[in-house]
Amino acid sequence: MSILSLHNVSRSFGALKVTDDVSFDVPTGQALGIIGPNGAGKSTLFNLITGNLSVDRGTITFDGADVTRTSAMHRCLNGMGRSFQIPQPFGSLTVFENLIVAATHGRGLRERDVADDCADILERTELIDRANDPASSLSLLQRKRLELARAMATQPKLLLLDEIAGGLTEGECRALIQTIRQIHASGVTIIWIEHVLHALNAVVERLLVLDFGRVIGIGDPATIMASREVREIYLGIEV
Amino acid sequence: MSTIVDTRTTASRIAGVCAVLLLAAAIVAPVFVGRGVIQDLFFILTMLTLAQFWNLLAGYGGLVSVGQHAFVGIGAYTLFGAGLLLGLDPVAALLLCGVVAVVIAVPTAFFAFRLQGAYFAIGTWVVAEVVRLSVAQWQALGGGSGTSLPPTARDFAGTAWVARVLDVRDAAARDIVTYWLALALAVATCAGVYALLRSKRGLALAAVRDNVAAAQAVGVDAQRMKWLVFLIAAFGTGIAGGLIYLQKGRISPDAAFSVTDWTAFVIFIVVIGGIGTIEGPIIGVLVFFALQSLLADYGSTYLIVLGALGVVIMLFAPRGLWGLFAARTGIHLFPVRRRLRRTVPRNTQPPGETHG
Ligand SMILES: Nc1ncnc2c1ncn2[C@@H]1O[C@H](COP(=O)(O)OP(=O)(O)OP(=O)(O)O)[C@@H](O)[C@H]1O
Ligand SMILES: [Mg+2]
């Protein structure tokens, strides 16, 4: 069973074709990594999947239903959670409230029913010490953690992560990998865009390579990384 | 392990006690003070109500409407229409004022929500003008020159009783009844807006204001929040409009749909007091009343002073007088911030259970 399927999805900005006839399936429970050079269209692909952008052509199926024309809000309610590459915190709310708003609206629950979960997530993402501070006061790294934490708070079936491992120390990166593995182990399907390949390879079972908006390879990470096309694109980038 | 979420502070507890005492004093005030004071208090309370709803719209919902006088006028005309044409008791008709305002607000929102920023503001103003011009055609209610409530419609619920018990004339008794209604409306408005802001919808409003795309991505229905706020504001503003003109007893389109009285002054109150706080409109209306009392004799000079003061506050204290005070002292009388406290940290087992 695939939880997510894209069929011939395309999207252009003016004359620039940023997503070019993309098709792939993600089986339920899989962890899929997405790599590709800067500007390849990775974040755009996320925006199409989550409904922040609408597709020009093609269809998107999520959890058995066609969601091509469904709003971002409804896709969240149906079980999609995402982080933004450039963090988008609710700056006037506290860190804890950022999670509360996601948990109450994303899951349709009352505040008192989600408070414990939210506090747990803040501990797992090491934000608990900042729980009562305004989100606008967080550092960039903490904002990235908040992106992950807030997406977790909606308790998604499919979690989409956009470059959350950049700039971490060795220890922080290990902790992050640990957290994402835990989420994955609990049955959540994960799609993770990441330039930090060793972190990605520690988690994902399958790798998709995007270049100029096209899928140029998808499959077993080791095989994909060994292919000539990928090596050419990544020449000069640490592997 | 248990999670405790708390929004109250020491200041808010003290404020709560003070509010109850103040409310008790306000209820019995007609026994002790004269008619002039009651009329002033009525003005303050109704302006506070209008300001609180505009604050909800603009300060929390991001909907900067400059057409709220439409709903004041609609409320006023509904009250007179219900009294003069249907023979309804005006006090009972107040609810109808809110309902009619909502009925007009629905098509207004369909139109205005298509507009962004300044265009939204202008759109709401245009709607208000259209409604004013239409009402001016309503000959049964005096057309462009307006009409008065006849004596029969003036003996509304409670007046006779108040006149007898407090031993005052009918006109004074009417003022006292409308004052109590204004008090109830203002208290309900402040309490209602505060309850909304403390709920999960209040969080959603803040989230939408901070970042719409992120709010939608976590399941917040941004469009629904806009509708909710716009309709609540229309409902309350309509009731306030009806009440204001029940007290005045005389109506005309130019007065009931006055952009100066019911929108510009209201915006001034919210801006000088502090937009986006419940305390702001309360401070703002007191400052506004003081200025009006001091400067009322100077005609247009008064408006110039108000305008200049508004500009100065916007430039040097964009969060208003209350914002300035709260930033200095950290005091919030109506706190909405949730504070997380955990009694036992996670992964710390209580003693005695480790070797069970
Ligand atoms: N809203 C937009 N309007 C116009 N062009 C856009 C828009 N969003 C993205 N683009 C362009 O589309 C291309 C792909 O952008 P995208 O952000 O999807 O790349 P990416 O693979 O995520 O890159 P990075 O690794 O730098 O995050 C870029 O050339 C970008 O400039
Ligand atoms: Mg990107």
Q: What is the ipTM of this complex?
A: 0.92
pLDDT at B318: 87
Q: Is B200 on the interface with A (CB under 8 A)?
A: yes
Q: Which residue in chain B is spatially nearest to A103 when comparing CA positions? A: B218
- Domain residues for B178? 7-258
Which of A9, A13, A85 maximizes ligand 1 atoms within 8 Å of its Cβ, making it the mutation to test the pocket?
A: A13
**Sheet order of strands, A65-66 included:** A16-27, A2-13, A57-62, A65-66
Q: For ligand 1, atom 8, which residue shows the shortest CA distance?
A: A44
CB contact under 8 A, A76 and B338: no
CA pair distance B203, A100, nearest whole angstrom: 8
Contact A221, A33 (CB under 8 A): yes
CB contact under 8 A, B216 and A71: yes
pLDDT at B354: 38
Residue B60 lies in a domain: yes
pLDDT at B165: 83
pLDDT, tens digit only, all 356 positions of chain B: 567 787 778 888 888 899 899 999 999 888 888 889 999 999 999 999 999 999 999 999 989 999 999 999 999 999 998 888 888 888 789 999 999 999 999 999 999 999 988 899 999 999 999 999 998 888 888 887 888 887 767 777 788 888 888 888 888 888 999 999 999 999 999 999 999 999 999 999 999 999 999 999 999 999 999 999 999 999 999 999 999 999 998 899 999 999 989 999 999 999 999 999 999 999 999 999 999 888 878 878 888 888 888 889 888 888 899 999 988 888 888 888 888 887 655 554 444 443 43
Six-digit token pair at B181?
């209604």
pLDDT at B11: 83
Nearest to B206 among A90, A108, A154 (CB): A90
Q: What's the number of CA atoms in the CB half-sphere (13 Å) around residue A172?
A: 14
* A225 DSSP 8-state letter: H
Q: Which atom of ligand 1 is nearest to the CA of A47?
A: 18
pLDDT at B2: 67
Lining residues, ligand 1, CB within 6 Å:
A 13, 18, 36, 38-44, 85
Quick one: how far is CA B320 from the chain centroid? Answer: 17
Which of A34, A42, A44 maximizes ligand 1 atoms within 8 Å of its Cβ, making it the mutation to test the pocket?
A: A44
Contacts of B210 in chain A (CB under 8 A): 89-93
Q: For ligand 1, atom 26, which residue shows the shortest CA distance?
A: A38
Quick one: how far is CA B194 from the chain centroid? Answer: 12
Instruction: Mutate one of A67, A73, A84 to test the B interface: name it (highest B CB count within 10 A).
Output: A73
Contact B75, B241 (CB under 8 A): yes
Residue B164 lies in a domain: yes
CA pair distance A117, A123, nearest whole angstrom: 10
Q: Which residue in chain A is spatially nearest to B3 when comparing CA positions? A: A116
Maximum distance among all alpha carbons in chain A? 54
Six-digit token pair at A205?
């079972």
Which of A38, A42, A46, A56 maximizes ligand 1 atoms within 8 Å of its Cβ, making it the mutation to test the pocket?
A: A42
CA distance A101 to chain B (A): 6
pLDDT at B352: 42
Residue B13 lies in a domain: yes
CB contact under 8 A, B200 and A71: no
Nearest to B340 among A82, A112, A132 (CB): A132
Q: Which residues of chain A does CATH 3.40.50.300 include?
A: 2-79+156-235
pTM: 0.88
Nearest to B340 among A104, A131, A153 (CB): A131
Residue-wise pLDDT for A5-56, tens only, equals 999 999 999 999 999 999 999 999 999 999 999 999 999 999 999 999 999 9
Residue B105 lies in a domain: yes
Residue B209 lies in a domain: yes
Consecutive H or E run containing A13: strand A2-13
Residue B328 lies in a domain: no
Q: For ligand 1, atom 4, which residue shows the shortest CA distance?
A: A13
Nearest to A73 among B2, B199, B216 (CB): B216
Interface list for B 230-259 with A (CB within 8 A): none
Comparing CA positions, the residue from B292, B282, B268, B260 lying closest to residue B45 is B282
pLDDT at B344: 56
Q: Which CATH architecture has domain A2-79+156-235?
A: 3-Layer(aba) Sandwich (3.40)
Instruction: Give the mean pLDDT of chain A.
Output: 93
CA distance A90 to chain B (A): 5
CB contact under 8 A, A104 and B340: no
Q: Is B222 on the interface with A (CB under 8 A)?
A: yes
Six-digit token pair at A48?
């199409």
Residue B132 lies in a domain: yes
- Long-range Cβ pairs for the range B300-308 (8 Å, 24+): B306/B265, B306/B268
Q: What angle do CA A97, B193, B103 make, to 5 degrees?
A: 120
Residue-wise pLDDT for A149-206, tens only, equals 999 999 999 999 999 998 888 888 999 999 999 999 999 999 999 999 899 999 999 9
* A94 DSSP 8-state letter: B
Contact A44, A59 (CB under 8 A): no
Residue B289 lies in a domain: no
Q: Which atom of ligand 1 is nearest to the CA of A210?
A: 21
pLDDT at B347: 53
CA pair distance B199, B214, nearest whole angstrom: 19
CA pair distance B280, B323, nearest whole angstrom: 8
Quick one: how far is CA B166 from the chain centroid? Answer: 30
Contacts of A98 in chain B (CB under 8 A): 207
Total tally of structural domains belonging to chain B: 1
Nearest to A119 among B204, B218, B342 (CB): B342
CA distance A230 to chain B (A): 32
Q: At B17, is the secondary structure helix, strand, or coil?
A: helix
CB contact under 8 A, A89 and B222: no
Q: For ligand 1, atom 28, which residue shows the shortest CA distance?
A: A39
Contact B62, B117 (CB under 8 A): no
CA distance B352 to chain A (A): 24
